[in-house]
Structures are given as structure tokens and as C-alpha cells.
């Protein structure tokens, strides 16, 4: 059974913004390794639009960016949207029955499936489908923006914490209603 994991970079004051701060080379290498292990990714429309950047080759990319692009392209993607008419390579559109589709994914796949984007994570949290929350805490204060938790924060239990590179702490939480991160 697959595990749905919502993980994003977050500022000290709780915001996510890929344009305000990004991963160090050490953290990016960690992200590549996670992408190589993932069974797939679930996106909302806005996050999918941002991530489509990795569909195209860019001559300025270094070896790490090429490695991430290869991992991203390889894995299946599910895009939750009622407004999109089509999606790119290796992606499927999820229009209706979010809960049923996600429960089917969890039952049919093994490993971790990334959940990308706070709004989608809020919907999946409300359905009790997120198995783990990973916060990559950066020493940055933004003062405004999109919060990591787009809705009320669910009761959480700290499962693990570790340092990645010189200044990022990864915090892994399970919903408090689960045991060992499983519903």
C-alpha cells in the first residue's frame, strides 16, 4: 500500500514560496534521491503548471538538474483539476471523486507518492488521506505568502527530525490519529 507524503520547503514563519528561497546543493541532492525513490506524484493544477518546467530540456542545466528532470519524468503523475483539459507526458487527469481515486492509488501502488501543493494537501488532509507531512524548515522569514497548511493544522505526532546540509531541518510528522504513520 502506498503512503501519501506532503513535503515542502517552508520558512520559519510557515510559508512556502519557491521564488523566495530554494534548496542548497545538499538539499537538492536529497530531493533528487527522494524523487528517484517515489512511486509517483499528485499535483493540483497550479503546482503542476510550475513543475511542467521539468518536461523540457534546458541547456544551462547541470548534472543535478538533469538527474532531477529524469526522475520527475519517469514517475507517474496525477493532476487534480476540473479546469485542465489535458496533461503532459506520464500524467493522468483526476477530475472527480478525489477520495475514491486517491484510495485506489494507495491500494494499487507501493512506496511513497508525493503530494505537492498546500491546497491539494488541505483537501487530502480533510479526507484523512495524508500519511506523512515533511517540513523542510529553512532559516528564512517571509512575513507573508502561501502557508504550508492551507487549512486548519491537523493534530500531528513528530516521527523524526534530521538536519540536511548546514541550515535545513527536516521534520516528519504523522497524523496523530495514526500509528507509525499508517491509518
**pLDDT per residue of the chain (183 residues) written in tens, 0 to 9:** 999 999 999 999 999 998 888 899 999 999 999 999 999 999 999 999 999 999 999 999 999 999 999 999 999 999 999 999 999 999 999 998 999 999 999 999 999 999 999 999 999 999 999 999 999 999 999 999 999 999 888 899 999 999 999 999 999 999 987 555 444
Question: Is this structure's pTM higher than 0.95?
Answer: no
For residue 117 the three cell numbers come to 501543493
Query: For the domain bounded by 3-175, which CATH number is listed?
Result: 3.40.430.10
Domain boundaries, the chain: 3-175
Nearest to 80 by CA among 42, 119, 118, 50: 42
Residue 80 CA to residue 46 CA, distance in Å, equals: 10
pLDDT at 179: 53
3-state DSSP assignment of residue 103? helix
Amino acid at each position: 500500500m502506498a503512503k501519501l507524503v506532503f513535503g515542502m520547503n517552508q520558512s520559519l514563519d510557515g510559508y512556502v514560496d519557491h521564488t523566495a528561497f530554494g534548496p542548497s546543493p545538499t538539499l537538492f541532492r536529497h530531493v533528487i534521491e527522494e524523487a528517484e525513490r517515489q512511486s509517483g506524484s499528485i499535483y493540483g493544477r497550479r503546482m503542476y503548471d510550475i513543475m511542467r518546467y521539468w518536461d523540457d530540456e534546458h541547456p544551462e542545466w547541470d548534472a543535478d538538474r538533469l538527474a532531477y528532470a529524469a526522475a520527475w519524468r519517469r514517475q507517474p503523475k496525477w493532476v487534480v483539476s476540473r479546469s485542465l483539459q489535458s496533461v503532459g507526458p506520464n500524467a493522468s487527469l483526476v477530475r472527480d471523486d478525489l477520495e475514491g481515486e486517491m484510495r485506489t492509488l494507495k491500494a494499487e501502488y507501493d512506496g511513497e507518492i508525493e503530494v505537492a501543493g498546500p491546497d491539494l494537501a488541505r483537501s487530502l488532509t480533510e479526507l484523512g488521506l495524508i500519511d506523512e507531512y515533511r517540513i523542510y524548515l529553512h532559516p528564512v522569514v517571509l512575513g507573508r505568502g502561501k502557508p504550508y497548511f492551507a487549512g486548519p493544522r491537523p493534530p500531528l505526532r513528530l516521527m523524526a527530525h534530521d538536519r540536511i546540509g548546514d541550515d535545513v531541518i527536516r521534520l516528519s510528522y504523522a497524523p496523530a490519529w495514526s500509528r507509525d504513520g499508517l491509518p
